[in-house]
Amino acid sequence: MSEGTIHKILVAIPVHYPNSKIFFKDSSLLSEIEYLQKFYNLPKKPSGRIRRSGPSFTSKVKDMQSFFGLNATGVLDSETLEVMRSPRCGVPDVEEYSNAQGTRWNKNIITYRYLLYTRDLPRSTVDFLLETAFRVWARASSLTFVRMHSHNADIMVEFVTSDHGDLYPFDGPRGTLAHAFGPGLGVGGDTHFDDDERWTTGKTGFNLHVVAAHEFGHALGLKHSRNPESLMYPTYKGHSNYLSRYNWSSHPWLSGSLFPQLMQKKCAPDLTFDAVTTIGEATFFFRKRYFDNFHSKEITHMFNLIQYILPLIESIFWTVKGSFAKGKPRSLSHFGFPASVQDIDAAVHIVKTGRTLFFIQDNYWSYNENRRVMDFGYPKNISEGFPGVNATINAAVYKEGLIYFFVGPQVYKYDYTHKHVVGVEKANSWLGC
């Protein structure tokens, strides 16, 4: 991950929750005590009794007032009580509750998965709002977010109620809206929303996009901000200034100057790609200086600059394992290519044979991954090795016995076992067009 601003954004305190009731329902002393125990590390007494006039209580009230920019008197005045009664994030405001989890992810590609949905909105709407929340952090950092549809992911997202298995139960309507764990193994990154709340797309109820963007900040290692205008401010106010920057009548990433014109025309009949590859369940499409990722034909727009994950594309290559690049880039000659080979049109790995095929103009090469040598007798002519494919190949992907050859705006489905083309489709069909 790059240094500078991006580094500063993601170096933060991880999240941890004390094992206590979350928030409160009335203005009783017990509720105020629980609030300070939950969010400001007010010590618990063995007897369960804490005096309102006690030094610990007064000190924590001052801490809370100071955090929210109130007059730090230590007295529960009306302004202080109003803040305490405001709907908010379930993550503490003080650093004492940071745990042993890492302060940031040690990789550039973060996976996420949706487990349980809210009953308030259609699934497609929830997907849209959560994807735009991830986009906030994709644009503010060098991170790429990849959705998983099975297996564990770095960030597991679910809508739950009351006790839901993590020792930090929700409290019903209002009060605590959601919480998230900081980066790390196990529950690290997991994000939970209270499904007793009324989740919406606008300024009524609780705007899911705003709350999700806040919680995903915690999932990346960020702590709460004292700035009321910040997305990471702990209490929910609708973030009107933040919301006003978005046009909910259209997809913001398909308009204006946020993303390149080439992606605004993703359904153009002449759309072509420079490269296509898979990482986990995601398929990455590269064109010029940009890339995007999709899952089958379900779009999860995460347009980004290639330099965010690979700083330079020349006659060298990077090794990617799991979700991050390993080691330093190496020359293409590592594979046994002659010095005259300075670039590759396409490459695809065939799982059943253990070979990686490289396509260069009219020819292709076969590399034995087990022996780590180029197979004898190569290069060979593409049209001879792959009957029916008679053009320069832009990209190739192997899935379930088929090689998908991207040739200009078309994709040839090639049966690798029986050695013939079984179908032709438009390249943009892979983008849901």
Would the annotation count 347 as a binding residue? yes
CB 312 within 8 Å of CB 327: no
CB 329 within 8 Å of CB 316: yes
Would the annotation count 179 as a binding residue? yes
- State the residue for tokens 């990789």: 107
Residue at 85: amino acid letter: R
Would the annotation count 214 as a binding residue? yes
Would the annotation count 217 as a binding residue? no
Would the annotation count 127 as a binding residue? no
For residue 241, the tally of other CB atoms under 10 A from its CB is 10
Would the annotation count 377 as a binding residue? no
Would the annotation count 63 as a binding residue? no
| Alpha carbon distance 64, 306 (integer Å) | 43
Residue at 65: amino acid letter: Q
Would the annotation count 163 as a binding residue? no
Would the annotation count 274 as a binding residue? yes
**So which residues are the catalytic ones?**
215
Would the annotation count 197 as a binding residue? yes
Would the annotation count 77 as a binding residue? no
Would the annotation count 391 as a binding residue? no
Would the annotation count 420 as a binding residue? no
Would the annotation count 232 as a binding residue? yes
Annotated binding site for Ca(2+), which residues?
120, 154, 171-172, 188, 190, 194-195, 197, 274, 347
Annotated binding site: 89, 120, 154, 164, 166, 171-172, 179, 188, 190, 192, 194-195, 197, 214, 218, 224, 232, 274, 347
Binding residue numbers for Zn(2+): 89, 164, 166, 179, 192, 214, 218, 224, 232
